[in-house]
């Protein structure tokens, strides 16, 4: 490669401000495709609700009439699964944001807001999941047993993992509100704890759930965990490829 004369070399100070690298530009989906996507989503959700809601209401009514004490148990399990789905969704959404896959179909501020809202929903449902244990008379749960790891009267190790995961998720979620104060680098480092929290809630759900061996429960844990593993692997591969490209570009400039 031909080297430029010394007088043509420009120092970093003389070069002016560096240009920011732009990610994929936001482009709206074509209206027919967008309308079809919304219609398909509405049909799928309507079919699922229509197929499951009547039977669910019937079972809840029968349970309330025969064994009202089990209603609290159903509530604990339901909020536990919902909390897991929200936390998993937030993790998956964050991975999609870090790979910039969502930038082509949604504005980044909107995506960040949805990512934060999912994290808040997961945290709130997790708190409700724990509070409902106070009304479950299968085991005697106290405030101490709910808040302090290894103090649970039921599956203390698995419950402790869930308690610690809850605190990790709370720290990560709180970091959204102090992002400007702590800086982007610290905020990103804190966000790496998300994966530890997700592993914790998965282990908690499988280990503490009384119906974890049921086929639907297995799918409820397997599908989100597989999605997180896939997108995390994709994120790592993309990051390694980008570093190699930068290294090659720097080597070409040096030669």
Name the one residue in this structure whose structure tokens are 């759900």: 205
State residue 69's pLDDT score. 66
Name the one residue in this structure whose structure tokens are 């101490």: 144
CB 118 within 8 A of CB 90: yes
Same domain, 147 and 242: yes
State residue 119's pLDDT score. 92
Domain end, chosen from 20, 50, 68, is at: 68
Structure tokens, 72 = 């609290």
Q: Which residue has the higher pLDDT, 12 or 140?
A: 140
Same domain, 138 and 185: yes
Q: Which residue has the higher pLDDT, 185 or 24?
A: 185
Is pLDDT of 70 > 60? yes
CA distances for 76 relative to 133, 138, 231, angstroms = 7, 12, 29
Average pLDDT over residues 203-213: 88
Is pLDDT of 127 > 80? yes
Is pLDDT of 13 > 50? no
Same domain, 122 and 189: yes
Domain end, chosen from 38, 68, 98, is at: 68
**What is the number of domains present in the chain?**
2
Average pLDDT over residues 153-160: 92
CB 2 within 8 A of CB 253: no
State residue 5's pLDDT score. 44
Answer yes or no: is 75 within a domain.
yes
Is pLDDT of 10 > 70? no
User: Which stretches within 99-214 are classed as H helix?
Assistant: 108-131, 143-147, 156-174, 179-182, 184-191, 193-208
Domain end, chosen from 47, 68, 89, is at: 68
State the Cα–Cα distance between residues 141 and 130, nearest whole angstrom: 9
Average pLDDT over residues 110-127: 90
Answer yes or no: is 174 within a domain.
yes
Same domain, 45 and 167: no
State the Cα–Cα distance between residues 141 and 162, nearest whole angstrom: 15
Same domain, 144 and 231: yes
Same domain, 156 and 242: yes
CB 170 within 8 A of CB 196: no
Mean pLDDT of the chain: 81
Picking from 187, 189, 205, 195, the residue whose alpha carbon sits closest to that of residue 228 is 195
Answer yes or no: is 8 within a domain.
no
Q: Which residue has the higher pLDDT, 51 or 232?
A: 232
Same domain, 161 and 54: no
Answer yes or no: is 11 within a domain.
no
State residue 25's pLDDT score. 53
Is pLDDT of 159 > 90? yes
Same domain, 124 and 221: yes
Is pLDDT of 144 > 80? yes
Same domain, 137 and 240: yes
Answer yes or no: is 90 within a domain.
yes
110-119 — which CB contacts under 8 Å span 24+ positions? 115/90, 116/173, 116/176, 118/86, 118/87, 118/89, 118/90, 118/93, 119/86, 119/87, 119/90, 119/169, 119/172, 119/173, 119/176
**pTM (2 d.p.):** 0.75
State residue 41's pLDDT score. 77
State residue 83's pLDDT score. 94
Same domain, 46 and 85: no
Helix axes 31-66, 70-98, angle to 10 degrees: 160
Answer yes or no: is 133 within a domain.
yes
Answer yes or no: is 111 within a domain.
yes
Task: Choose from 12-16, 155-159, 240-244 the range with maximum mean pLDDT.
Answer: 155-159
Is pLDDT of 86 > 60? yes
Same domain, 145 and 230: yes
Same domain, 178 and 108: yes
Answer yes or no: is 207 within a domain.
yes
Domain range for residue 38? Answer: 29-68
State the Cα–Cα distance between residues 24 and 220, nearest whole angstrom: 33
């Amino acid at each position: 490669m031909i080297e430029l004369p010394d007088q043509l070399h420009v120092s970093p100070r003389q070069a002016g401000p560096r240009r920011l690298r732009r990610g994929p530009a936001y482009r709206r989906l074509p209206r027919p495709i967008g309308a079809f996507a919304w219609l398909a989503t509405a049909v799928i959700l309507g079919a699922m609700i229509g197929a499951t809601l009547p039977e669910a209401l019937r079972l809840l009514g029968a349970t309330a009439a025969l064994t009202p004490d089990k209603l609290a148990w159903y509530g604990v399990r339901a909020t536990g699964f919902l909390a897991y789905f929200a936390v998993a969704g937030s993790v998956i959404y964050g991975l999609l944001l870090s790979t910039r896959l969502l930038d082509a179909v949604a504005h980044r501020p909107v995506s960040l807001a949805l990512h934060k809202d999912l994290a808040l929903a997961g945290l709130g449902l997790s708190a409700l999941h724990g509070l409902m244990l106070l009304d479950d008379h299968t085991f005697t749960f106290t405030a101490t047993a709910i808040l302090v790891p290894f103090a649970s009267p039921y599956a203390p190790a698995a419950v402790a993992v869930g308690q610690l995961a809850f605190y990790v998720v709370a720290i990560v979620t709180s970091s959204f509100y102090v992002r400007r104060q702590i800086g982007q680098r610290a905020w990103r480092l804190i966000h790496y704890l998300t994966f530890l929290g997700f592993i914790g809630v998965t282990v908690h759900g499988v280990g503490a759930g009384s119906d974890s061996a049921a086929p639907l429960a297995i799918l409820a844990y397997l599908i989100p965990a597989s999605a997180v593993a896939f997108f995390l692997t994709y994120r790592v591969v993309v990051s390694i490829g980008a570093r190699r490209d930068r290294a090659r570009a720097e080597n070409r400039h040096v030669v």
